[in-house]
Chain A
Amino acid sequence: MKKHIPLLLSILIAGCIDQGHHQDVGDIPFDRAMDDPDFNLCGEESSIKQYYVRGSDHKPAGYKGEKRALEEAITEQYVFPVSESESGYVTIRFVVNCRGQSGRFRVEKMDFNYQPKNFNPELVQQLLDITRNLNGWIPVSREGKTYDFYQYLTFKIRNGQIEKILP
Chain B
Amino acid sequence: MKKYGLLCLLALLSIKLFAPPNCEIYKRDKICYESCQEAMKAIRYWQGSSQSQQHFNRSIELCPGFAYSHMEKAVPFLKRGKFIQWKKMIDKAVELEPQEYLGYRGWCRLQFLRDYEGAIKDIERLKELVDYDIGFCQTGDYHLNIALALCYKEIGQIDKAKEIFEQHLTAHNAYIGLYDFYHLGVIEYETGAYQKAIEHLTRQIRENDYLGETYYFLALAHKALGNEQEYRSTLKTAKAYYQAGKFRTDTYTETIDKIYFVDIIEELEAANASLKTPPK
Contact = CB atoms under 8 A, between A and B. Distances in A.
Interface of A: 21-26, 50, 52, 54, 60, 65-69, 89, 91, 93, 108, 110, 112, 114-116, 150, 152, 154, 156, 163-164, 166-167
Contacts of B112: 154, 166-167
A166 B79 contact: no
30 contacts: A24-B53, A25-B48, A25-B53, A25-B76, A25-B77, A26-B48, A26-B80, A26-B81, A50-B80, A65-B262, A67-B254, A67-B260, A68-B260, A89-B113, A91-B82, A91-B83, A93-B81, A93-B82, A108-B84, A110-B84, A112-B115, A152-B80, A154-B81, A154-B83, A154-B113, A156-B114, A163-B114, A166-B114, A167-B252, A167-B254
Contacts of B81: 26, 91, 93, 108, 152, 154, 167
B114 A164 contact: yes
A161 to B, nearest CB: 14
A20 B113 CA distance: 30
Given A68-B263, A108-B83, A26 B76 contact: yes
Interface of B: 46, 48-50, 53-54, 76-77, 79-84, 87-88, 112-115, 117-118, 251-254, 258, 260-263
Contacts of A93: 80-82
Contact of B262 (A22, A69, A164): A69
A110 B118 CA distance: 15
B83 A21 contact: no
Given A66-B262, A164-B114, A166-B114, 18 more contacts: A21-B50, A23-B50, A24-B53, A25-B49, A25-B77, A50-B48, A52-B251, A65-B262, A67-B258, A68-B263, A93-B80, A93-B81, A108-B84, A114-B84, A150-B80, A152-B80, A167-B81, A167-B252
